[in-house]
């Protein structure tokens, strides 16, 4: 029933867990889990018997290397149903969509890289801010994804789903790659995995730059490095990883459609040529793991130093005569740990697995601030705070095989948070704390005829910005402000089926729903998120991977969702930005010879931009392709084609009021909504969009040695 370990280095625990049907629980540190044989092996680990829900799975490095991405964060689009976009410069975190959410920059979607959290709570630009610019895609060994709040090991920000990206423990060859392309794109990458001191050293060094298609050149430049030492085996070993990233860029923020329609600016133009930013991320992480008689223990620990200075202008001249540009500054040190232990044994006559774990995180935020700026020079301070935020999460999970065709995974999670805010406005300083308990239950039936069925339920949560938990005075208006609940409960459930009854085809179907006690919404004039009304979402997802003859792989993903606020309000119950329809179709050809190619198209449909649904966004449909040729065992060349049909569509759309310079009193397009004194202008409501980048080509030459 089970395939052998292809590398012969999986842990004793992993083998035992698989034999009693608990393979999904033993997945960590890329342990090779025996599973049902299927032709798709090498691209996905989503076979029958490998997960606890039909909406969970893994994508391997072999699949990740088959198609191009415009930005590193787009690796998350390998997770079925996820859409990754951008509304500003490349150095800024991407915008994410999943399961009816406009996730902004990461709210309610947990992302981890090598056991380190990427989401930033109490962030200057948005709660849960998730910037993957530091990622080197060629080093990613796999992506493990789970959707819904059904998993005890996932805490904050994981209600819609989670993705855990793992860097490789070994590389067979050293590789040097040079890339050049449209809009002054250039990239140099060096990776390798030599043996060292009885272990293996995995390294990556990357330089990347681009100006983009923008009228104001983006001048994006980043330096990126990874150094990883791995010693021992999965049964008894450790790794230590150092990462370093620095990026800087000039940005074209979203622009008002009316300014383009009347020729004030072009489609790739800007109303403030001085927006942009700088960002950095340095980290040190380590993991130790070993089997013992009847179980396994693991410990992760990490330290991260992060910085961001982000200059944005979304409303142009609505609030100030000199322009509405503002700076969001964030400086923090993050410390964390995650010990856990797994026991395999018996519950009476039944095979069982128990796991307990503890997750601790402390964010020492030296500065989280909002400044008024002109051409990146500070001219006023809205707020400038120091925050200390700590959390401790305990979880326990039991998996029991009650019958050959029935098993359960039951878990519980308890989280405690403490906040300390030292604000530049003394009235907004203070302390707060909160705790929350989240039960989970998963029922797995089958397999019968290579088909299994799932019933999943779980409660989860997301944290709110610490500053909102102690606020008394709105720093922008000076008026009294309401505090937010520190931890917001979510409730989710799902039924699903996964089958590989048809030879070569893996197919899964999920029907889900999710309730949030408080929605997080994007605020256009502040460039941040705020807590809002309770909401309900429901939807259907269908995911397919089909291996045809002669090296052909076909992927088809379809998702539909409905999102509404639960309480009735005069303004309406639609959730602005909530995505409804997502589709993706991919075709890959690689028989292992000289030539290889792939074609990928993805679609996401219109979204409501206002609560009464009277204004909606446009749909977007983009197609990318890759064609490659292996010259010999050393040299390879490939051509990436992005937006091959040159679609003139939007990466993202918002609806809010703004004023351009020409709409002020005396301007060519003077409007009564923008002609009054600063501070009294109501602005002109309009769709503001960030265009997708036009057709672009990139050529890469790689040498292995």
> What's the average model confidence in pLDDT over 585-596?
94
Report the share of the chain in percent with pLDDT over 90. Answer: 84
Q: Give the whole-angstrom CA distance, residue 631 versus residue 637.
A: 7
Lowest mean pLDDT among 81-95, 223-237, 461-475, 518-532: 518-532
More confident: 481 or 300: 300
Q: Give the whole-angstrom CA distance, residue 333 versus residue 483.
A: 26
Answer whether residue 525 shows pLDDT above 80: no
> How high is the pLDDT of residue 529?
56
Tell me the pLDDT tens digit for each residue of 75-112: 999 999 999 999 888 999 999 999 999 998 989 999 99
**Could you give the strand order of the β-sheet that contains 650-658, starting from the edge strand earlier in sequence?**
255-256, 684-691, 650-658
Tokens of 354: 């128990």
Answer whether residue 354 shows pLDDT above 60: yes
Tell me the pLDDT tens digit for each residue of 186-219: 999 999 999 999 999 999 999 999 999 999 999 9
> How high is the pLDDT of residue 34?
30
> What's the average model confidence in pLDDT over 395-412?
97
> How high is the pLDDT of residue 32?
33
Structure confidence at residue 228 as a pLDDT band (50, 70, 90): very high
> How high is the pLDDT of residue 49?
83
Answer whether residue 26 shows pLDDT above 50: no
Structure confidence at residue 336 as a pLDDT band (50, 70, 90): very high
> How high is the pLDDT of residue 67?
85
Tell me the pLDDT tens digit for each residue of 38-51: 333 456 666 788 89
In terms of Cα–Cα distance, which of 119, 203, 202 is closest to 162? Answer: 119
Backbone angles phi, psi at 64, to 5 degrees: -65, -30
Lowest mean pLDDT among 188-202, 510-524, 528-542, 660-674: 510-524
For every residue of 72-99, which 3-state class applies, written as one string?
HHHHHHHCCCCEEECCCCCCCCCEEEEC
Secondary element (H or E) of residue 506: strand 505-516
> How high is the pLDDT of residue 527?
44
Q: Cα dihedral angle (134, 140, 146, 148), rounded to 10 degrees?
A: 10
> How high is the pLDDT of residue 1?
25
CA 680 remoteness from chain centre: 38
> What's the average model confidence in pLDDT over 322-343?
97
> How high is the pLDDT of residue 11?
52
Answer whether residue 383 shows pLDDT above 60: yes
Tell me the pLDDT tens digit for each residue of 105-157: 989 999 999 999 999 999 999 999 999 999 999 999 999 999 999 999 999 99
> How high is the pLDDT of residue 3?
29
Answer whether residue 163 shows pLDDT above 80: yes
> How high is the pLDDT of residue 65?
87
- Alpha-carbon radius of gyration of the chain: 25
> How high is the pLDDT of residue 138?
95
Answer whether residue 528 shows pLDDT above 80: no
Would you say the pTM of this structure is higher than 0.85?
yes
């Amino acid at each position: 029933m089970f395939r052998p370990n292809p590398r012969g280095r999986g842990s004793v625990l992993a083998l035992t867990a698989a034999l009693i049907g608990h393979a999904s629980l033993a997945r960590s540190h890329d342990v090779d889990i025996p599973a049902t044989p299927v032709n798709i092996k090498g691209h996905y680990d989503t076979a029958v018997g490998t997960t606890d829900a039909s909406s969970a799975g893994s994508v391997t490095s072999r699949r990740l290397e088959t198609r191009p991405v415009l930005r590193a964060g787009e690796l998350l689009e390998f997770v079925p149903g996820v859409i990754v976009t951008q509304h500003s410069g490349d150095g800024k975190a991407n915008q994410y969509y999943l399961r009816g959410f406009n996730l902004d920059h990461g709210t309610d979607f947990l992302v981890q890289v090598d056991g380190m959290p990427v989401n930033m709570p109490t962030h200057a630009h948005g709660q849960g801010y998730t910037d993957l610019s530091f990622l080197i895609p060629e080093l990613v060994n796999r992506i493990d994804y789970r959707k819904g709040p059904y998993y005890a090991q996932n805490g904050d920000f994981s209600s819609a789903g989670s993705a855990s990206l793992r860097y490789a423990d070994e590389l067979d060859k050293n590789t040097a790659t040079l890339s050049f392309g449209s809009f002054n794109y250039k990239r140099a990458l060096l990776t390798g995995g030599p043996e060292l001191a009885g272990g293996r050293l995995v390294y990556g060094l990357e330089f990347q730059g681009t100006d983009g298609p923008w009228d104001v050149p983006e001048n994006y430049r980043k330096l990126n490095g990874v150094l990883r030492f791995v010693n021992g085996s999965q049964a008894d070993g450790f790794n230590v990883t150092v990462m370093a990233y620095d990026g800087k860029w000039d940005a074209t923020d979203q622009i008002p459609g009316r300014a383009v329609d009347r020729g004030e600016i072009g489609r790739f133009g800007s109303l403030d040529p001085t927006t942009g930013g700088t960002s950095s991320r340095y980290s040190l992480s380590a993991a130790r793991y070993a089997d013992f008689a009847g179980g396994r223990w693991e410990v992760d620990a990490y330290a991260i130093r992060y910085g961001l200075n982000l200059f944005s202008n979304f409303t142009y001249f609505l609030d100030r005569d000199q322009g509405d540009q503002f700076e969001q500054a964030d400086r923090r040190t993050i410390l964390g740990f995650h010990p856990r232990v797994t026991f395999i044994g018996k519950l009476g006559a039944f095979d069982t697995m128990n796991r307990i774990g503890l997750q601790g995180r402390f964010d020492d935020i030296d500065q989280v601030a909002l400044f008024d700026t002109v051409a990146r020079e500070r001219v006023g301070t809205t707020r400038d705070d120091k925050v200390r935020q700590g959390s401790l999460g305990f979880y326990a999970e039991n998996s029991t095989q009650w019958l050959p065709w029935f098993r359960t995974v039951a878990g519980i999670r308890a989280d405690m948070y403490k906040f300390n805010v030292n604000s530049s406005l003394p009235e907004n300083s203070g302390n707060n704390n909160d705790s929350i308990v989240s039960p989970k239950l998963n029922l797995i039936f089958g397999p019968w005829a290579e088909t299994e069925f799932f019933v999943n339920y779980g409660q989860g949560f997301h944290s709110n910005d610490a500053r909102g938990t102690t606020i008394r005075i709105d720093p922008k208006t000076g008026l009294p402000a309401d505090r937010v609940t520190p931890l917001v409960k979510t409730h989710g459930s799902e039924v699903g089926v996964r089958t590989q009854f048809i030879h070569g085809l893996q197919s899964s179907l999920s029907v889900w729903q999710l309730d949030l006690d408080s929605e997080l919404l994007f605020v256009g004039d502040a460039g941040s998120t705020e807590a809002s009304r309770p909401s309900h979402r429901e939807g259907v997802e269908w995911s397919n991977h089909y291996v045809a003859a002669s090296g052909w792989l076909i992927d088809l993903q379809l998702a539909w969702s409905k999102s509404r606020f639960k309480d009735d309000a005069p303004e309406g119950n639609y959730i602005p930005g909530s995505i409804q329809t997502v589709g993706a179709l991919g075709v890959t050809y690689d028989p292992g010879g000289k030539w290889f190619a792939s074609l990928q198209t993805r679609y996401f449909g219109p979204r409501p931009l206002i609560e009464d649904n009277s204004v909606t966004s446009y749909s977007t449909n983009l197609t990318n392709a890759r064609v490659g040729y292996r010259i010999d065992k050393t040299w390879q060349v490939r051509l990436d084609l992005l937006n091959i049909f040159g679609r003139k569509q939007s990466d993202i759309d918002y609806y809010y009021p703004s004023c351009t310079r020409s709409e002020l009193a005396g301007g060519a397009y003077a409007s009564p909504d923008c002609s009054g004194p600063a501070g009294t202008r109501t602005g002109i409501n309009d769709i503001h969009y960030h265009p997708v980048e036009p057709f672009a080509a990139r050529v890469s030459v790689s040498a292995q040695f």
